[in-house]
Amino acid sequence: MSTITRIHEHDVETVVENFTSEEDAANAAKRKKLFLRFGACVAALAVAYGAYDAFYASAHVETDNAYVGADVAQVSAQVTAPIREVLVSDTQAVKQGDVLVRLDDTDARIALARAEANLALTERRVRGLSATDNGLAAQIAARAADETRATASLASARADVEKAGVDLKRREALAASGSVSGEELTLARSAFATANANLRAAQAAVALAAANRAAAAGTRDANRVMIENTTTETNPEVLAARAARDQAKVDLERTVIRAPFDGVIARRSAQVGQRAEPGKSLMAVVPVQAAYVDANYKEVQLSKVRPGQAVTLTSDLYGSSVTYHGTVVGFSGGTGAAFAVVPAQNATGNWIKVVQRLPVRVALDPKELAAHPLRVGLSMNADIDVSK
């Protein structure tokens, strides 16, 4: 019985050993098959990644560090005046030319009336200068006539002096013989003295007439300088007065502040009664229909990026269901770190190299913006096709 039992146990052990060896062989085959499958998967993934890199990744550069921007207009007054009326509020959409703020125009209207009055006065004064020129020409002619008359009087006085001198000499010659009385000689001497006095007066009159004519000519020359080669419309004084009038008109028009372009009102600080001053911001107008994207790419991504390349963008606001199409416009003049408020001091001893990012400006399709408006500061994902 024990022999039979030992034979049976031996057979069982043999069967168990055979079964174990068969199981190990099956497991080894299975492991080999799994390793082959894993190797095939790794090879397929490598081939897929190589194909992805060759046909897509090498032709695209992507970043999620991109934000919507726009050339925001800071609306401020150009003249100093109290605010009379504010017609818009934050988030309100406006069109180009819409009235945003009205200022008190009382001072501007008074200034315009004063400028118009000054212009009219200046035009009258210039026309008066033209009329004065004609009057001065007549005065010169009159002074010339006076000079001619004085010259004639001088010639007459000289003739009288000669005649009185001849008479005096004749009487003095006859006085020695007693043919001429003393009284008659005295009268002759008086007549000669009077003639000399009249001569000196005539000479003075000629000099005075000449001086008056020269003065009239000088006055006319001075007057002509003011109007020479000009008309009333082109006279410098009139032009200056007209420019002052035009400036007053512009200042009056500037009491009405209008939207510079289509957009949305933001950061409104204007209040009725507040005194508006040039350079002091009253509100901002954001041109949402002219928004762009600044995509901050790593410097190692930009070797193939060129202006004009196509860009595909998605916004966190709408998700991947809305796709925008844009174009690379250009690159910023410096990295974000270079233009930071506190730029990095790399000259210090604790310098660590950090990959820099350079803003790339992307222009968006206006039609797509109109269909799905964006706002300044929203996050975007940008993908530049660098294959072309």
pLDDT tens digits for range 160-175: 888 878 877 777 777 6
Distance CA 231, CA 153 (A): 43
CATH number at 93 reads 2.40.50.100
Residues 125 and 192 in one domain: yes
- 365-377 average pLDDT score: 92
For the ranges 16-30, 89-103, 142-156, 317-331, the lowest mean pLDDT is seen at: 16-30
Distance CA 73, CA 278 (A): 15
Most confident of 6-20, 215-229, 323-337: 323-337
CA angle 324, 327, 328 (to 5 degrees): 130
Q: Is residue 95 part of a domain?
A: yes
- 216-229 average pLDDT score: 69
Identity at 215, one-letter amino acid code: A
**Domain assignment of residue 329, given as a range:** 58-70+290-385
Distance CA 260, CA 97 (A): 6
Residues 205 and 229 in one domain: yes
Question: Total structural domains in the chain?
Answer: 3
Q: What is the pLDDT of residues 289-348, one digit of tens each?
A: 999 999 999 999 999 999 999 999 999 999 989 999 999 999 998 888 788 777 777 766
Q: Is residue 201 part of a domain?
A: yes
Residues 230 and 122 in one domain: yes
Virtual CA dihedral for 200, 201, 203, 209, nearest 10 degrees?
160
What angle do the packed helices 182-227 and 106-175 form, to 10 degrees? 160
By the 10 Å C-beta count (0-12 exposed, 13-18 middle, 19+ buried), 363 is classed as middle
Q: Is residue 127 part of a domain?
A: yes
Query: Average pLDDT over the chain, rounded to whole?
Result: 83
Distance CA 117, CA 226 (A): 21
Residues 119 and 239 in one domain: yes
Distance CA 118, CA 247 (A): 13
**Spatial CA neighbour of 343 closest among 327, 330, 354, 332:** 354
CATH number at 364 reads 2.40.30.170
State the DSSP string of 149-189.
HHHHHHHHHHHHHHHHHHHHHHHHHHHTTT-S-HHHHHHHH
For the ranges 134-148, 219-233, 291-305, the lowest mean pLDDT is seen at: 219-233
Residues 93 and 130 in one domain: no
Q: Are 216 and 144 in contact (CB under 8 A)?
A: no
Where helices occur in the chain by DSSP H, the ranges are 2-55, 106-175, 182-227, 236-253, 366-371
How confident is residue 116, by pLDDT bands cut at 50, 70 and 90? very high
Question: Could you give the 3-state DSSP secondary structure of residue 308?
Answer: coil
Residues 223 and 349 in one domain: no
Task: Please tell me the number of Cα atoms within 13 Å of 246 on its side-chain side.
Answer: 6
Q: Is residue 195 part of a domain?
A: yes
Contacts of 301 (CB under 8 A, 6+ apart): 61, 63
The predicted structure's pLDDT at residue 4: 52
Question: Could you give the 3-state DSSP secondary structure of residue 75?
Answer: strand
Residues 64 and 78 in one domain: no
Distance CA 87, CA 97 (A): 13
Tell me the C-alpha to C-alpha distance, in Å, between residue 51 and each of 36, 74, 310, 388: 22, 50, 22, 19
**Spatial CA neighbour of 285 closest among 82, 89, 43:** 89
Greater confidence, 27 or 60?
Answer: 60
| Range 53-59, long-range pairs (CB < 8 A, 24+ positions) | 59/385, 59/386, 59/387
Other beta carbons less than 10 A from residue 52's beta carbon? 11
Q: For the chain, give the percent of residues with pLDDT over 70.
A: 83
How confident is residue 17, by pLDDT bands cut at 50, 70 and 90? low
Q: Is residue 49 part of a domain?
A: no
Q: Is residue 14 part of a domain?
A: no
